[in-house]
């Protein structure tokens, strides 16, 4: 035999693909046979699990006490609301009185709720510099922050961008039965945001000193990692109506107590037709008040139980048949023995 042939033959044999269970589709696989009994049992199992979860979620949601007070319209007495809110000389103090319907156990969460504010707008979401917020040597990276990237003199704004520029600046002072109570504003932001997204050695500079003046101002002696109102605001919301945590009340409030809230109505939602509301809410193991989770679990669980009962009635009582009966095959349907 020619040695070249033998060499070529060995090369050809070496180029053959190796045998593999993956390429030959011989991997172990689960191929369940969906018999009526298995289907009915699966539906029943889902229903038995989901219905109690739904009931527990609804019960927890109903126990939450929530006060919602929309104040944007009542806190401006003049027809020209935009002119009122933009005038720096007007007194924007507004006092609201609320009655607590049920006993509210501490901690009581204080939220501000804004409506028709699209924080998920593409240009708004992109108007920030994450590197500038985190690293001291990146304060000059403001190219994505226009029109709030630099001052008129060209100095970088820290933090730059439209998200920080539009920071919420209404304030709330709360009294219970004419006795002032403290609002705790510590630890209202996510710990991961404070440690991973905002630097402890980055301080605000030139903020609200650009060509446009937006919302709140920042204390230039406090690093960004401790500016928790800013951190909460810069976690942008997905929906146009959203709530953000303002602070907490660490004492219980009894039923029928009178809450007096002194509001500094500074934030301009009037230019874009938005709304503002103050929300006081207790919490439970599912978080805030939310009936949707419980209703969803009850709906899916109830539907599964209904389908399981329906299959039992149809397949075992109305039209029972033997599993794998060959008389139902297409080539046996024309025979005299075929069941109608």
Q: Do 199 and 56 belong together in one domain?
A: no
Q: Do 172 and 76 belong together in one domain?
A: yes
> Which strand ranges, in their side-by-side order, compose the sheet holding 258-264?
93-99, 258-264, 171-176, 179-180
The answer to whether 57 and 289 are in contact (CB under 8 A) is no
Q: Helix H segments across 191-339?
A: 191-196, 228-234, 291-313
Is residue 213 situated within a structural domain? yes
Is residue 42 situated within a structural domain? yes
Omega before 159 within 30 of 0, i.e. cis: yes
Tokens 């329906």 correspond to: 310
The answer to whether 160 and 207 are in contact (CB under 8 A) is no
Q: Do 195 and 119 belong together in one domain?
A: yes
**Which pLDDT value is given to residue 314?**
86
pLDDT digit string, tens, across residues 68-107? 999 999 999 888 999 899 888 889 999 999 999 999 999 9
Alpha-carbon distance of 108 to 83, in angstroms, equals 35
Tokens 């609002």 correspond to: 183
pLDDT digit string, tens, across residues 287-299? 888 899 999 999 9
Alpha-carbon distance of 176 to 168, in angstroms, equals 25
Query: pLDDT category, 181, cuts 50, 70, 90?
Result: very high
Domain end position, chosen among 283, 298, 327? 283
Mean pLDDT of 143-172: 91
Alpha-carbon distance of 209 to 178, in angstroms, equals 38
The answer to whether 108 and 249 are in contact (CB under 8 A) is yes
The answer to whether 46 and 325 are in contact (CB under 8 A) is no
Q: Do 86 and 234 belong together in one domain?
A: yes
The answer to whether 172 and 263 are in contact (CB under 8 A) is yes
Q: Do 235 and 304 belong together in one domain?
A: no
Q: Do 55 and 124 belong together in one domain?
A: no
**Which pLDDT value is given to residue 13?**
52
pLDDT digit string, tens, across residues 314-329? 888 887 777 777 777 7
The secondary element (H helix, E strand) that includes residue 35 is none
Does the pLDDT at position 186 exceed 70?
A: yes
Q: Do 219 and 303 belong together in one domain?
A: no
Q: Do 74 and 91 belong together in one domain?
A: yes
Is residue 85 situated within a structural domain? yes
Question: First and final CA of the chain: distance in angstroms?
Answer: 73
Overall number of domains in the chain = 2
Count CA within 13 A, CB hemisphere, residue 35.
7
Query: pLDDT category, 4, cuts 50, 70, 90?
Result: very low
Q: Helix H segments across the chain?
A: 3-14, 36-62, 81-86, 122-126, 130-134, 162-165, 191-196, 228-234, 291-313
Does the pLDDT at position 1 exceed 50?
A: no
Alpha-carbon distance of 3 to 271, in angstroms, equals 89
Partners of residue 70 on adjacent β-strands? 277
Tokens of 334: 């024309």
The better pLDDT of the pair 112, 27 is held by 112
**Which pLDDT value is given to residue 21?**
83
Q: Rounded to 5 degrees, what angle do the CA atoms 123, 234, 148 make? A: 50
Does the pLDDT at position 32 exceed 90?
A: no
Does the pLDDT at position 35 exceed 90?
A: no
The answer to whether 174 and 185 are in contact (CB under 8 A) is no
Mean pLDDT of 120-140: 92
Alpha-carbon distance of 277 to 224, in angstroms, equals 27
Is residue 7 situated within a structural domain? no
What does the longest C-alpha to C-alpha distance in the chain come to?
109
Is residue 28 situated within a structural domain? no
**Which pLDDT value is given to residue 77?**
84
**3-state secondary structure (DSSP) of residue 109:** strand
Q: Helix H segments across 63-121?
A: 81-86
Q: Do 149 and 174 belong together in one domain?
A: yes
Is residue 120 situated within a structural domain? yes
The answer to whether 23 and 273 are in contact (CB under 8 A) is no
Q: Do 53 and 73 belong together in one domain?
A: no
**Which pLDDT value is given to residue 27?**
86
Is residue 25 situated within a structural domain? no
**Which pLDDT value is given to residue 2?**
47
Count CA within 13 A, CB hemisphere, residue 205.
12
Domain span holding position 156: 65-283
The answer to whether 144 and 127 are in contact (CB under 8 A) is yes
Tokens of 294: 């419980």
Is residue 116 situated within a structural domain? yes
Query: pLDDT category, 212, cuts 50, 70, 90?
Result: low
pLDDT digit string, tens, across residues 219-254? 999 999 999 999 999 999 999 999 999 999 999 999
Does the pLDDT at position 115 exceed 70?
A: yes
Q: Do 161 and 300 belong together in one domain?
A: no
Q: Do 117 and 198 belong together in one domain?
A: yes
How many CB atoms are located within 10 Å of the residue 328 CB?
12
């Amino acid at each position: 035999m020619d040695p070249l042939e033998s060499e070529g033959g060995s090369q050809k044999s070496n180029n053959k693909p190796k045998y593999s269970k993956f390429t030959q589709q011989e991997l172990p696989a689960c191929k369940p046979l969906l018999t009526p009994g298995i289907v009915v049992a699966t539906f029943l199992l889902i229903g038995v699990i989901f219905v109690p979860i739904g009931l527990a979620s609804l019960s927890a949601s109903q126990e939450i006490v929530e006060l919602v007070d929309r104040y944007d319209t009542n806190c401006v007495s003049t027809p020209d609301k935009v002119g009122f809110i933009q005038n720096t000389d007007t007194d924007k103090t507004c006092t609201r009185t609320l009655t607590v319907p049920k006993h509210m156990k501490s901690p009581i969460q204080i939220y501000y709720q804004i409506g028709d504010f699209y924080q998920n707008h593409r240009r708004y979401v992109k108007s920030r510099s994450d590197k500038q917020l985190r690293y001291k040597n990146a304060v000059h990276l403001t190219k994505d922050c226009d029109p709030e990237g630099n001052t008129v003199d060209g100095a970088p704004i820290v933090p730059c961008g439209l998200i920080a520029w539009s920071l919420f600046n209404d304030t709330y002072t709360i009294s219970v039965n004419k006795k002032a109570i403290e609002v705790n504003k510590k630890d209202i932001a996510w710990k991961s945001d404070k440690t991973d997204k905002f630097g402890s050695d980055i301080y605000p500079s030139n903020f609200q000193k650009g060509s446009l003046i937006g919302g709140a101002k920042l204390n230039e002696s406090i690093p960004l990692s401790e500016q928790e109102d800013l951190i909460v605001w810069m976690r942008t919301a997905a929906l146009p109506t959203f709530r953000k945590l303002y602070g907490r009340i660490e004492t219980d409030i009894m039923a029928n107590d009178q809450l007096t809230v002194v509001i500094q109505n500074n934030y301009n939602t009037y230019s874009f037709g938005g709304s503002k509301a103050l929300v006081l809410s207790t919490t439970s193991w599912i978080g805030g008040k939310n009936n949707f989770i419980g209703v969803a679990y009850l709906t899916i669980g109830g539907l599964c139980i209904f389908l399981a009962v329906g299959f039992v009635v149809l397949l075992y009582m109305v039209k029972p048949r033997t599993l794998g009966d060959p008389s139902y095959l297409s080539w046996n349907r024309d025979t005299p023995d075929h069941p109608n």
